[in-house]
Structure 1
Amino acid sequence: MNANIKKLIICFASLSSLAACTKLDEEMYGSLSPDTYYKTEAEGLSSVAGVYQLLSYNVDINDPWRMGEFMTDEFIVPGRASGGWFDQNNIDLTKHQQDPNNATNARAWKYMFQEIGTANAVLESLQKSPNQDAMKPLIAETRALRAYGYFYCMDYWGNIPLVTVARIDPNNLPTNTARADIYKFIESELLAAVDDIPSVTKVNRTSYYPRFTKESIYSILAILYLNAEVYTGTPQWQKASDMCDKVISSGAFDLEAEVLNNFKSNLQANSKEIISAFTVDPVKTAGNNQFILYTQNALDQLKYALPFAPANGYSTTQAVLDRYENQDVRKTLIEYGPQTYLDGSPLKYANGTQLVLVPVKDIISAQDNEGYKVLKYTPVGTTWSGYNGDNDLVMVRYSEILLTKAEALFKLGNSSDALTLINKVRTRSKASSLSALTIQNIEDERARELLWEGCRRRDMIRFGDFFTGTWAFKTTQTEKYRGLMPIPNEQITANPNLKQNPGYN
């Protein structure tokens, strides 16, 4: 992680007066005067770094990320027989039975709009700075961060309030904006921002990392266009392909030799595959990565010499394991069956019994060994501060751009070039090459490559099996309206101008 960015994130803690409202009927005030602050880029960047930090908490570890993953076939958190982890809100999400009172959904809304509100406050101060012209790149960067926050909100809740000011008039609370119009706003903001943001080819890549570059924005636009038919009713396959081409033609990115390199804390800053990430350094109070804490079995404290006992929460399913060929290197990222130490000797409980991981059988009261584990953010080489690791949280990788380009090409009728891109990703992980391509191949490859990277819910909705498929404890088909989450009741109570999404009334 760039040491300067770390310092700026630490500085953001002193700017808590810029924190956004978490309810739409609250008014936000900032104590910093634009006339006396943001005289230099470093002063402005200290607040922009805080927006990055809020976004990292939301889209890569906390409730906004978890909520989407709960609704897919790749993620499950069962209640344990010991009494731990049981949460009916999360089980309802797993079964696609969420309602407007779902607490996980409510927290996700709160956290996402906190990021948006903070971006609004920072953006307003930057735009009123006496050095506004010098702040153009930071203004563009903040607009892009806000747009990405809105992308998440539009993806989940669709018809959301569009707020671009730092203070909300309590006598004029916002109303819902149609999902298609939110889409247009996101698109226009990203296209406007990209002109003033540098290309990764024009900066010192190591020192500028992990800030947004032009290629970061092109990647977000590619993902936006890939899902355009869901959001607006009109597909944008050519635009998705074009944005991927802008990333590819930069020549700045390629696949790492091993997919795991993108998630090792000591390799990420120099990765040629990571396009965007959120930096983490818990030792310096600059964010943290708690995947190992939340995911692994407690016995992995012994296996990896961890300074804490993991909580045995996040798990994956047999269906996910079965997607991989045996020789596929990505399969080694899933822990299943008999467990061993790194030297191959059996990993045993105190009573001498070896830990054997099996699929979750009981979502309410699972035994300690139920649930396969995804070991993506490896603890090997990680620096710990308590139970917080320093692995940077990956947002977009080059492999996702290749897979996005492949899907867009396939939809445009060019299956030959699409097959080449799919096989490039597969070859890296020693999976056998495909001789022909189907739309199911594309979906499955995305599921293999992007496991637990926050893509699966969007993918399943776009491909349709979110509604038609059944898996694990989701045993019935899903009503179409559940492609959107309900607007939390607490938000409608706070702001009666908001209307509930159809189907949840």
Structure 2
Amino acid sequence: MKKIIYSLAIAASMLTFNSCIGDLDTVPLNETDKNAGQAYQTLEDYEMGLAYIYGAYSLASQNDPGKADIAVDDAGQSELVRQYMVLNEMSVDALKCTWGDSYIVELQNNSWSATPNASTLAVYTRCMMVVTRANEFLKQSSAASLEGLPQLRAEARFLRAFAYYLLMDLYGNPPFAMEENVAGALPSQIGRKALFEWIEGELKDLLEGSELPEVGAVPYPRVTKGAAQATLARMYLNAEVYTGTARWQDALDAAEATIKMGYDLCPNYEELFMQDNSENDNARKEFIFAIAYDRDNSQSWGGTTHLVSASLSSEANSAIAKELGYPDARIARENWNGYHVPNEYVEYFELKDVKWGETSGFGYDRANSDKRAFFYNIGGTKEYSNSDINSGWRCWKFTSRDSKGNLFSGDEYSKLSSADFPFIRLAEMYLIYAEAKARLDGGTTTDTKALGYIKELRDRAGVSMPAFIDTEFILKERARELMWEGHRRTDLIRYGYFTSVSFPWPYKGGVPDGKVSLGQHLTVYPILNTDLTENPNLVQNEGYK
């Protein structure tokens, strides 16, 4: 099904919505292009238009994965999921990189400014692209009465609401555009609290009063009411950050409602991140909202391709493959050799017999360690240095393997990844329930249901379960369970640790030992200067000039 969606997205390039973020115009660039009003005639046209919205989450362009359709020099660095993950993991302690790209230096040193870099520009622009395409779709479909169209409209509304959720979380107070802004008045900002309330209302309406499909009613990876309910749970967990008012009970209730919708944990954690995770029934049962990638039909140097290739050197690539039973192969198709994990973060995992200076193996007893750990330290040094390509740990959570033992890393095959990226999965709902319950209970809980959910995760990981859990334990459990899935920055902000001098990590604030406080304004990224220039209705986030 994902091949159908993204083949349609490519075909939808005929729906030429040549709009910039500033004026949301939809006039075609040349006389042979169709504008949206001409292109939307049949249900298939609308299906292609919906695919066009889905595609904004994963594609760098409609034609060539090596050529971006937005103003970022490297097409792979223009893709939404790649830079969403980077904004949330590299700005904190989970991901570091030895490449010298300016956006990487700014993110891991927390030194970004109002001038956009590749990451802040890509995520903002791609999210606004989703909004623009969804608004156009909803405007063009508002008067149509085709059978099946209400469901498509509901999906478009969710995709727009989720893009606004990302913008609210990352940028605080983005422009708020609706259908009436298409080729109309420039949008204004409504404030983070009001945007939270709008998204909340939209998601509730999708759950209660729309044709958004029930879980299991449409083929994967199309969105369902599970995605709407889970997004509410995530928003409520962070409501105090967004609005000033905690919503712990609402977070617990929304997480529990999602859990009851029929999802299941994948028995093997490793299979969630393999190349065939979209065809693996066990993995798909845990996915609530995933972004699909396909090396044959929707190529991208972003997505999960960068997660597969960016962490490994040639030596590590071959050595890990050999340890896993592929003596003459590599675990990833390419060796970009840049991403690293500081030892301080790796220490959250229960690793047995960790050693440095070994010449073979993984650098620890992997067979008896937390099964969520995919690390390798051979040839590395314990202390991470942003100038040392062999420092810290390497991570191979995403690889070129599939669940049947195949290894898609031969020279004759594509360099790109087909692994889907799990934006939301069931394990996160377990963690939200447990944290919300712990906070409602004063910071620590022995609640049977909360402990049961965490025990399921730890049983799968092969580690023991404590008699009680507190908020600090849950933060560490989230670090283990959700590593490199785009959660860490939001978690540290919610806990008050992102800006605090008492929670250091390597190169926080540009300081090697990270023992420094950060400015509060860094808890949101800046609104793009180009938008401020083009739209006088907008103001910059506080603290940026």
CA distance, structure 2, for counterparts of residue 192 and residue 29 of structure 1? 32
For residue 350 of structure 2, what is the aligned residue in structure 1? 325
Task: List alignment gaps of at least 5 residues for structure 1.
Answer: 79-84, 339-355
**Offset at 1:323?**
0.6
**Offset at 1:358?**
3.1
Preserved CA contact (<8 Å) 2:58 2:293: no
Q: Identity rate of aligned residues, in percent?
A: 27
Query: Is the alpha carbon distance of 1:38 and 1:464 closer, same or farther for their aligned partners in structure 2, counting shifts above 3 Å?
Result: farther
Letter in 2 for 1:357: G
For residue 54 of structure 1, what is the aligned residue in structure 2? 56
For residue 114 of structure 2, what is the aligned residue in structure 1? 100
For residue 122 of structure 1, what is the aligned residue in structure 2? 137
Structure ranking higher on relative contact order (CA contacts 8 Å, 6+ apart): 1
**Offset at 1:306?**
6.8
1:2-401 correspondence to structure 2 within 5 Å: 2-15=2-15, 17-21=16-20, 23-25=21-23, 27-29=25-27, 31-32=34-35, 34=37, 37-40=40-43, 42-56=44-58, 61-78=81-98, 85-104=99-118, 105-131=120-146, 134-165=148-179, 168=182, 172-194=185-207, 195-201=210-216, 203=217, 208-250=219-261, 252-269=262-279, 270=281, 271=283, 272-285=285-298, 289-290=304-305, 291-299=307-315, 302=318, 303=321, 304-305=329-330, 308-326=333-351, 327-334=368-375, 336-338=376-378, 356-359=379-382, 361-363=384-386, 365-367=387-389, 369-381=390-402, 383=408, 386-401=414-429
**Offset at 1:185?**
1.3
SS of the residue 1:281 aligns to: coil
SS of the residue 2:195 aligns to: helix
Preserved CA contact (<8 Å) 1:64 1:112: no
Preserved CA contact (<8 Å) 2:333 2:408: no
Q: Larger deviation: 378-387 or 480-489? A: 378-387
**Offset at 1:308?**
4.7
Letter in 1 for 2:8: L
Query: Is the alpha carbon distance of 1:443 and 1:146 closer, same or farther for their aligned partners in structure 2, counting shifts above 3 Å?
Result: same
**Offset at 1:430?**
0.8
TM-score using structure 2 length: 0.80
Query: Is the alpha carbon distance of 1:191 and 1:435 closer, same or farther for their aligned partners in structure 2, counting shifts above 3 Å?
Result: same
CA distance, structure 2, for counterparts of residue 240 and residue 19 of structure 1? 39
For residue 325 of structure 2, what is the aligned residue in structure 1? none
Query: 1:238-289, CA deviations, whole angstroms, 9 ceiling, x for partnerless residues?
Result: 2211212222222x21211111111112243312211221111121236563
Letter in 2 for 1:358: T
RMSD: 2.5
SS of the residue 2:227 aligns to: helix
Which portions of structure 1, spanning 4 or more consecutive aligned residues, are displaced by more than 6 angstroms?
Answer: none
Preserved CA contact (<8 Å) 2:135 2:179: yes
Query: Is the alpha carbon distance of 1:379 and 1:286 closer, same or farther for their aligned partners in structure 2, counting shifts above 3 Å?
Result: closer
Letter in 1 for 2:111: Q
Query: Is the alpha carbon distance of 1:366 and 1:199 closer, same or farther for their aligned partners in structure 2, counting shifts above 3 Å?
Result: same
CA distance, structure 1, for counterparts of residue 4 and residue 109 of structure 2? 44
SS of the residue 1:282 aligns to: coil
CA distance, structure 2, for counterparts of residue 258 and residue 59 of structure 1? 29
Query: Is the alpha carbon distance of 1:36 and 1:387 closer, same or farther for their aligned partners in structure 2, counting shifts above 3 Å?
Result: closer
SS of the residue 2:92 aligns to: coil
Query: Is the alpha carbon distance of 1:36 and 1:158 closer, same or farther for their aligned partners in structure 2, counting shifts above 3 Å?
Result: closer
Query: 1:86-124, CA deviations, whole angstroms, 9 ceiling, x for partnerless residues?
Result: 023322222222210141323332222122212222222
CA distance, structure 2, for counterparts of residue 62 and residue 273 of structure 1? 21
Task: List alignment gaps of at least 5 residues for structure 2.
Answer: 29-33, 60-77, 322-328, 352-367, 509-513
Letter in 2 for 1:282: R
CA distance, structure 2, for counterparts of residue 306 and residue 318 of structure 1? 22
Count of residue pairs the alignment pairs up: 469
1:385-424 correspondence to structure 2 within 5 Å: 386-413=414-441, 415-416=446-447, 417-424=449-456
Query: 1:457-500, CA deviations, whole angstroms, 9 ceiling, x for partnerless residues?
Result: 11110011111121011121112222111223232222232111
TM-score using structure 1 length: 0.86
